[in-house]
């Protein structure tokens, strides 16, 4: 995420709006950053941002909604891809737009910027927390009954592993260049693919693919939708990736490639996981794997890699916003201190909220849907209303926005009820 240049001016008074899909020579020139990330590195960062934690919940999501919910999966993927395109168009409507909150400011003024910032950073924060919960769950399964004593206190099990994970992740949070983070993202993308292979190995060697499952379960659809949206809603970091690119006009290509890769990972994971365990699925499919098997260990070790590669990418926009707000984004030691405190706070929350599946459903239903579906539609309609716009397209956008609001309301109520009942 970059800061605004001092010579940028207010977009609503001096910067002309670009028609959709139109890019003149001037706009293409300003979107090119010689030292920015290449298309390949941007694809790695975006795919890594979306794939990972969500892949573990895919079989559970299908078990909640039944086989017909696979159609919902593809619908969600299509909606999220389209709203990603809307974010790109909003960003390219003015040179002063560098971040997601800037889009809100361009569309609705200061109040719009604040509203988007609240939802955006809360979503990223809870996603970072979910990474730590994930690490704690799987390490505890891999090495149960471990503990150590510190200052007279005994720390054991999942709590111990969450804190150890925080220490391991800490150095990656100090990286501020997305070109460098792309090398970390390679590990995350490969880990997701290896995890899918481990699931197939488990099915062929032990569980088999024999569960018939339920065709459709209406009561589970809210949870299913929330988990599906978590899988495809990396929109919170899309503006950061767009700004970091060497040629921002190629963002739509990066978006298409990344969504295709994620779909090829998520889809088979959902189908084969449900065929293996049916209605007995845990919120993380790795928790269903038999203990002590080599493929189980490979899957869990691979799962452990994902949060290590994604935490820094999720936390980067939050840390950068805090640094800019405090006016200390140029002082290296202060930035390191802020990012360290940010990580410590997520560790504390992860130790307090242990319900991974329900937390992910809440993030997907309330925050991810709002940030990735509702807000892009609202901002796009506001920014481009002066251009006339295609009525059919505007109708589609309004339909998507209303669907997002419905999912947010129903899914949030369902996920919060599950969390409260589990306390």
Q: How far apart are CA 10 and CA 95, in angstroms?
A: 10
In a domain, 218, yes or no: yes
In a domain, 8, yes or no: no
**Where is mean pLDDT largest: 60-69, 138-147, 174-183, 312-321?**
60-69
- The 10s digit of each residue's pLDDT in 355-375 is 666 666 677 677 778 888 999
- In which domain, by residue range, is 358 found? 38-422
The conformation of residue 143, written as its DSSP 8-state character, comes to S
In a domain, 27, yes or no: no
Q: Which residues contact 191 (CB under 8 A, 6 or more apart)?
A: 52, 302, 303, 305, 306, 309
Backbone angles phi, psi at 149, to 5 degrees: -110, 130
Residue 272 sits in a domain whose CATH number is 1.20.1740.10
- The 10s digit of each residue's pLDDT in 262-294 is 999 899 989 988 988 888 888 778 778 877 778
Q: How far is CA 200 from the centre of its chain?
A: 25
Grade residue 32 by pLDDT with cuts at 50, 70 and 90: low
In a domain, 23, yes or no: no
- Give yes or no for residue 352 having a pLDDT over 50: yes
Q: What is the pTM of this model?
A: 0.75
Q: How far apart are CA 131 and CA 142, in angstroms?
A: 17
Number of domains within the chain: 1
- The 10s digit of each residue's pLDDT in 185-236 is 677 778 778 888 888 888 787 766 777 778 989 888 888 887 888 788 778 8
In a domain, 140, yes or no: yes
Mean pLDDT computed over 316-324:
82
- The 10s digit of each residue's pLDDT in 87-118 is 999 999 888 888 899 999 999 999 999 999 98
In a domain, 148, yes or no: yes
In a domain, 14, yes or no: no
Mean residue pLDDT of the chain comes to 79
- The 10s digit of each residue's pLDDT in 255-265 is 999 999 999 98
In a domain, 31, yes or no: no
Q: How far is CA 275 from the centre of its chain?
A: 26
The mean-pLDDT minimum among 287-291, 404-408, 419-423 falls in: 419-423
Q: How far apart are CA 395 and CA 269, in angstroms?
A: 34
- Give yes or no for residue 388 having a pLDDT over 60: no
């Amino acid at each position: 995420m970059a800061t605004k240049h001092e010579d940028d001016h207010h977009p609503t008074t001096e910067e002309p709006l670009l028609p959709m899909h139109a890019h003149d020579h001037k706009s293409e020139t300003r979107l090119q950053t010689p030292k920015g990330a290449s298309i390949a590195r941007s694809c790695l960062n975006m795919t890594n941002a979306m794939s990972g934690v969500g892949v573990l919940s895919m079989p559970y999501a299908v078990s909640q909604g039944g086989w017909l919910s696979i159609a919902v999966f593809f619908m969600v993927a299509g909606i999220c891809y389209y709203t990603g395109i809307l974010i790109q168009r909003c960003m390219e409507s003015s040179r002063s737009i560098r971040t997601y909150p800037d889009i809100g400011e361009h569309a609705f003024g200061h109040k719009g910027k604040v509203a988007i910032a609240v939802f955006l950073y809360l979503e990223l924060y809870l996603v970072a927390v979910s990474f730590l919960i994930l690490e704690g769950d799987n390490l505890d399964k891999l090495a149960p009954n471990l503990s150590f004593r510190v200052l007279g206190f005994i720390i054991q099990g999942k709590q111990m592993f969450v804190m150890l994970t925080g220490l391991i992740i800490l150095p990656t949070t100090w990286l501020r260049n997305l070109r460098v983070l792309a090398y970390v993202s390679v590990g995350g993308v490969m880990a997701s693919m290896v995890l899918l292979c481990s699931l197939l190995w488990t099915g062929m060697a032990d569980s088999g693919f024999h569960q018939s499952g339920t065709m459709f379960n209406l009561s589970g659809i809210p949870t299913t939708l929330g988990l599906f949206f978590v899988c495809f809603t990396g929109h919170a970091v899309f503006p950061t990736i767009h700004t970091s690119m060497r040629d921002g006009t190629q963002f739509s290509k990066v978006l298409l490639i990344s969504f295709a890769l994620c779909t090829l990972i998520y889809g088979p994971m959902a189908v084969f996981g449900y065929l293996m365990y049916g209605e007995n699925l845990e919120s993380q499919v790795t928790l269903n794997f038999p203990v002590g098997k080599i493929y189980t260990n490979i899957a869990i070790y691979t799962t452990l890699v994902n949060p290590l590669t994604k935490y820094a990418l999720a936390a980067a926009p939050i840390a950068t916003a805090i640094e800019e707000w405090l006016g200390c984004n140029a002082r290296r030691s202060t930035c390191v201190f802020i990012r360290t405190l940010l990580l410590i706070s997520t560790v504390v929350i992860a130790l307090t909220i242990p319900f991974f599946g329900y937390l992910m459903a809440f993030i997907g239903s309330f925050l991810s849907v709002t940030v990735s579906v509702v807000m892009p539609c609202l901002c796009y309609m506001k920014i481009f209303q002066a251009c006339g716009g295609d009525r059919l397209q505007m109708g589609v956008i309004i339909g998507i926005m209303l669907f997002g609001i419905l999912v947010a309301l129903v899914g949030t109520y369902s996920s919060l009820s599950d969390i409260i009942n589990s306390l």
